[in-house]
Amino acid sequence: MPTVLVSHPADRLSAYFGDEALLRLRRIAAVRLNTSNEDLAGPALVQAARGCEVLIAYRQTSLDAAVLQAMPDLLAVVRCAVDIRTIDVAAASAQGILVTQASAGFMASVSEWIVAAMIDLSRGISTAAALYQAGQQPVAHMGRELRCATVGVIGYGQISRYLCPLLRAFGMRVLVHDPFVMPEEPGLEWVSWPGLLAQSDHVVCLAPANASTENLLNADSFAQMKRGAFFINAARGNLVDDAALLAALDSGQLSGAALDVGRAADQMPAPALARHLRVLASPHIGGLTPPAIEHQSLETVAQTASILRGELPQGAVNAPAAHRLQIRPQRPA
């Protein structure tokens, strides 16, 4: 029976992979688990993967050229996430190793987190609750309504397509900026980058993280926003200049920010921002719900099953270079 390594740390396996996916995986392969609570890396990862045909990679598992070169038995790296930036795909291709990624299954969960964060920022609910729990009497805070407010959504991918109708249902004016996509759905307004920043009461960042979007939200961007606007980041920490965000919060240029991601380990908000009194921070939980996690983990099991049959799975990103996997001709349906 072929052997598959699941690299998720032991204390995160249940939450980020799940019992059902593990059960299904054990039906098709001998499963080797990461028995530590640490992220496998370098020689430890190579040793753990020795003799494995497939490596199902946790979102923090880093595979560089040296590690991939030291895995002669490996057919494929199956990424249990959409983001594959921790995998050197070029190096995998050079070794003939297939790389796959999961499709997004967290549109609803992340969108609901965004709406919850917007309401909390607008009404100060968690701030008041924290004061009560600390034995203090909070001052009654004059809040803002989402109804009739303007929200600017940066990026128009799968999450945005789910989120925007929800925002419209609250009676919000919804602006969208994406340099590559023009939304056609009724009630959405495509605007320029300066137009989105200048008009929005809430700016929601859902842009992809790549070289061109590094520090997309910087001092200049925050200066162009409405004074007193809110900023919400549910994408990636790389999109934001943390020092510039701190300065905008300290100056009152921004009334608050909600962050589910950041530049700390495991894409979590940096401590300096997370503890700021105007920041609502959470530890990268936007997509952490059973349906969202199960969508991706079960998909990785299906991808692994295809690979072990010698078939090209959905989600392959470097199929032409994956010469270790002998692709069988697909039979007509």
* Interval 280-291: pLDDT, tens: 999 999 999 999
- 118 and 26 in a common domain: no
Asked if 24 and 298 touch (Cβ cutoff 8 Å), the reply is: yes
- 113 and 14 in a common domain: no
- 257 and 140 in a common domain: yes
pLDDT value of position 333 = 38
Q: What global pTM score does this model have?
A: 0.87
pLDDT value of position 266 = 84
- 294 and 268 in a common domain: no
Backbone angles phi, psi at 98, to 5 degrees: -75, 140
Tell me whether residue 332 is in a domain.
no
Tell me whether residue 229 is in a domain.
yes
Count of domains observed in the chain: 2
Domain that holds residue 33: 3-105+289-321
Asked if 80 and 56 touch (Cβ cutoff 8 Å), the reply is: yes
pLDDT value of position 197 = 98
Tell me whether residue 330 is in a domain.
no
3-state class (DSSP) for residue 136: coil
pLDDT value of position 330 = 47
- 261 and 293 in a common domain: no
- 171 and 134 in a common domain: yes
- 316 and 274 in a common domain: no
Q: What average pLDDT does the segment 259-281 reach?
A: 95
Q: What average pLDDT does the segment 16-31 reach?
A: 96
- 150 and 78 in a common domain: no
Buried (b) or exposed (e) across 261-297, using 16+ Cβ within 10 A?
bbbbeebbbbeebbebebbbbbebebbbbeebbbbbb
- 204 and 74 in a common domain: no
Tell me whether residue 17 is in a domain.
yes
- 113 and 99 in a common domain: no
Q: What average pLDDT does the segment 126-141 reach?
A: 94
Rounded (5°) CA angle 91-93-96? 115
Rounded (5°) CA angle 24-293-103? 90
